[in-house]
Structure 1
Amino acid sequence: MFTLPLGDRAQLRPLEPWQAPEYLAHIDRARATVDPWTPWASLSTDLASATATLQDFADRRATDGARIHGIWLDGTLVGGVLFTGFDAASGVCEVGCWLEPAGEGQGLATRACRALIDQAFTQRGMSRVEGRSASGNAPGIALARRLGMRRDGVLRRHAVHRGGRRDIEVWSVLAEEWPAANAASEAAVRAELDRLMGVFVGAFTNTGGRRPDLGVIRDVFVPEGRIIANVGDEPVIYDLDGFIAPRQEMLTDGTLTEFSEWEVTERTEVFGSVAHRFSEYGKSGYHNGAWFEGGGHKTTQFLRTPAGWRMSSLAWDDAPAKP
């Protein structure tokens, strides 16, 4: 069984029927975050149905159809990526991905999807790779953008989920739009910058009882890094400790609950050992018990250091919150 590294701690491997117990345990951990957007988790509710799901993919893979892979982080299955459809004759396939909370915010979904898309284009000669997402699934849509996909359109009221109908956005990338094989080194750098941003943004999440750990921000920044809020009349400049401490408190003392933040769009430029990223982000949660939605823009600078790529500074400007 092949293993593809997704960084120092993560691996991508095929999921097979004999792994059903491990797969079911993972789906149980992922169910609360996956089920709101897709009926995927509802297909595996006990060992028999989990085994049947993996066996179905094994049968379809044997006829060069759909296939499923797992994402392991530090030896634990934390997510998966799959071709929900794979039609070699027409040259069209559809890719999808999911993660449990322990796998979020580390760039795993982006790297895993890129690996499958790269295989589809460079090894199988596919012409088009699609990605589909419910219109309200902002993280899923942000993933499609990070993969270089374009939105083809919306299938209105296309899917039935939890007794209601949902619009489904169709995204795609074509073979001629995919980076060539000789650009692998740049793709690897961009994947690492995606991971760093994912860790930073994911550090704030406290949805579903998850306890945030903003200390991981120190892992993605150089020690002398600066974070700047430019949301008022004058910028407020923080060192890492000054930024982390008050936000850790707000996210754990009940001030901010069910809070999450995500990238909506990003534009990244790499120049040798330095890089820049301009991002639009969204966020939502309860502030002192009142629901809010908001967003804004970030500009982030990166440096290649002896320890690898790290953030050196980040500045943000919030858009007005939506009550």
Structure 2
Amino acid sequence: MFTIPLGENARLSPLEPLHAQEFLDHMDRARPNVDPWIPWAARSTDLASATATLQSYADKQAADTGRIYGIWLDGTLVAGVMFTRFDGPAGMCEIGCWAEEAAQGRGLVTRACRELVDWAFGERGMTRVEWWVAPGNTRSIEVARRLGMTREGVLRKRYPYRGTRQDSEVWSVLADEWPPAAEVAPASAFASADKTELDRLMAACLGAFTNTDGTAPRLDAIREVFIPQGLIIAHTGNGNEPFVYDLDTFIEPRAKMLTDGTLTEFSEWEVSERTEIFHSIAHRSSEYRKSGFRNGEWFEGAGRKTTQYIRTPAGWRMTSMTWEDF
């Protein structure tokens, strides 16, 4: 059985029928979080049904139509990823994920999904990897975003769940869009406490603008991740002078737009990054995407960021960020 390290004393390995009892124990912990999104979570309630779930994936793997893998943290099964559909002749597959609370917020699922996408494109020659998700499953949507997937649309009332028909969002990434291996940090890099902290700061910074599904933006998070003297610079190109903001002048107009109806269902996320750490200073180059409604009209955008960090007595903080849209 292969094992792929994911950092933080975590590993990715095939999940097989012999793991049925461990899988059942994990499902009992995870069910409140995953039951609405993973159909077999409600069906895997005893040893026989848990075994049947894993056997169904063993049968899919034998037929080359699906696979399932577990994520173990400190020796305990806490999450997993899967090929829910795998069609080699068509060059298309679908991946999915789940996690109990102990695995959330660590990036383990995203790293595991990158391994699956790498394998699908690099080893099996797939053309398209899909991600189907309920609109309310915000954690799963964030994974799709971090993988650089594109939201293609919504299939309305696609399937029933406990008497109510549910929508499905469809996200995807194509082989020619997938970053080369050099652009994706190796698993060993994620074991670094410094890198983990820089990832957290960037996620908090970008997440401060989110107002999807009724979420209120949290622009004060910008002050938490930057030093008080931080600068944020917008490079518009075309020979124009850049806009240079301190934290107050950057936050105030954006807080207004995100709460007065100008920008709704807005979010912004990284699709690739390269981070270099030099003792107590660091630099990060990112590509990002964003989407939402501007004055009632749907829009999508993309661009680049460079971010500088220093290690302060209170921990890592951002000192400056420069961005430009494509």
TM above 0.5: yes
Unaligned runs of 5+ in 2: 205-224, 231-245, 252-266, 278-282, 291-304, 321-326
Q: How does 1:44-83 map to 2 (within 5 A)?
A: 44-83=44-83
CA contact (8 A) 1:268 1:275 kept: no
Q: How does 1:122-201 map to 2 (within 5 A)?
A: 122-185=122-185, 195-196=196-197
| Alignment partners' CA distance in 1, 2:44 and 2:5 | 27
- Alignment partner, residue 94 of structure 2: 94
Taking only aligned residues, the RMSD between alpha carbons, in angstroms, comes to 3.9
SS at match of 1:312: strand
| Alignment partners' CA distance in 2, 1:137 and 1:181 | 28
Aligned length: 250
- The CA deviation at 1:162 is 2.2
Unaligned runs of 5+ in 1: 203-220, 236-262, 281-298, 316-323
Cα distance per residue 1:285-308 (max 9 Å; x no partner): xxxxxxxxxxxxxx9956599xxx
SS at match of 2:270: strand
- Alignment partner, residue 313 of structure 1: 318
CA contact (8 A) 1:15 1:54 kept: yes
Give me the TM-score of the superposition, normalised by structure 2. Answer: 0.65
Q: Percent identity?
A: 49
- Alignment partner, residue 111 of structure 2: 111
- The CA deviation at 1:181 is 3.4
Cα distance per residue 1:174-216 (max 9 Å; x no partner): 11111123445479768979954776779xxxxxxxxxxxxxx
Give me the TM-score of the superposition, normalised by structure 1. Answer: 0.65
Question: Which entry has the higher C-alpha Rg, 1 or 2?
Answer: 2
CA contact (8 A) 1:24 1:50 kept: yes
- Alignment partner, residue 265 of structure 1: 269
- Alignment partner, residue 275 of structure 1: 284
Residues 1:271 and 1:196: Cα distance change in structure 2 (over 3 Å): closer
SS at match of 2:42: helix
CA contact (8 A) 1:107 1:195 kept: no
CA contact (8 A) 1:127 1:174 kept: yes
| Alignment partners' CA distance in 2, 1:133 and 1:163 | 18
- The CA deviation at 1:36 is 2.8
Residues 1:17 and 1:58: Cα distance change in structure 2 (over 3 Å): same
- The CA deviation at 1:265 is 2.4
SS at match of 1:153: strand
Q: What residue identity is the alignment partner of 2:93?
A: C
Q: What residue identity is the alignment partner of 2:317?
A: S
- The CA deviation at 1:146 is 0.5
CA contact (8 A) 2:179 2:272 kept: no
- The CA deviation at 1:138 is 1.7
| Alignment partners' CA distance in 2, 1:11 and 1:34 | 21
CA contact (8 A) 1:16 1:54 kept: yes
CA contact (8 A) 2:38 2:98 kept: no
CA contact (8 A) 2:183 2:274 kept: no
| Alignment partners' CA distance in 2, 1:106 and 1:178 | 22
Cα distance per residue 1:242-262 (max 9 Å; x no partner): xxxxxxxxxxxxxxxxxxxxx
CA contact (8 A) 1:67 1:83 kept: yes
CA contact (8 A) 1:152 1:172 kept: yes
SS at match of 1:145: helix
